Structure 1
Amino acid sequence: MSIEQWWPKLRPSTRERLIDNNGDAVPAETLVEIANAGGSVALDAWWVGEIGPSGFHFSDEAVDWIEAVGNGEAPGDR
């Protein structure tokens, strides 16, 4: 499932935290919420970036998508 589908299913506070901390490592509890909303952290998903010692990061394209949402813009679907 793509970010456009699971994003609206996140709690408003989670969406706000992701917007406010866009580009930072995503906390484990937020990844659980994303998974529960239908977002599988599969390596082939366009919104998945780095998964490493510093944690999970969205892809550059997903960071841009989140920034657009945070700015009140309507990002295009993928």
Structure 2
Amino acid sequence: MNIFEWWPLVDAEIRGWLIAHNGEPLPPHVIADIMAVTGGATDSGWWAGESADGPQLSDEAVDWIEAVANDEEPTAG
């Protein structure tokens, strides 16, 4: 499932965290909420993988979230 598909399904609190902390490693509660709404089926292209600080979204996902935060039309990827 792509970010544009799961974005409206996660809690507003999680969307707010993703916007406020865009580009940062994801804490377990954020990952858990995303996985809960996707049934664990996320598009691997949106995940950059693990960093020393934890799992991170890809540059494309970070750009997508930034566009949403700026009330711009995000690209579909």
Superposition TM-score, scaled by structure 1 size = 0.87
In structure 2, how many angstroms separate the alpha carbons of the residues matched to 1:57 and 1:41?
16
SS at match of 1:37: helix
Report sequence identity in percent. Answer: 39
In structure 2, how many angstroms separate the alpha carbons of the residues matched to 1:16 and 1:48?
19
User: Is 2:30 the partner of 1:26?
Assistant: no
> 1:38 matched to which residue of 2?
38
TM-superposition CA deviations, 1:19-68 (whole Å, max 9, x none) = 010011111111000001106476x6111013143101111111000000
Unaligned runs of 5+ in 2: none
Unaligned runs of 5+ in 1: none
CA RMSD of aligned residues (A): 1.8
The structure where helix makes up a greater share of residues is: 2
Superposition TM-score, scaled by structure 2 size = 0.88
Moved over 4 A (4+): none
For 1:33-72, what aligned pairs fall within 5 Å after superposition?
A: 33-38=33-38, 40=40, 45-72=44-71
In structure 2, how many angstroms separate the alpha carbons of the residues matched to 1:61 and 1:76?
9
In structure 2, how many angstroms separate the alpha carbons of the residues matched to 1:53 and 1:76?
29
SS at match of 2:38: coil
In structure 2, how many angstroms separate the alpha carbons of the residues matched to 1:32 and 1:58?
14
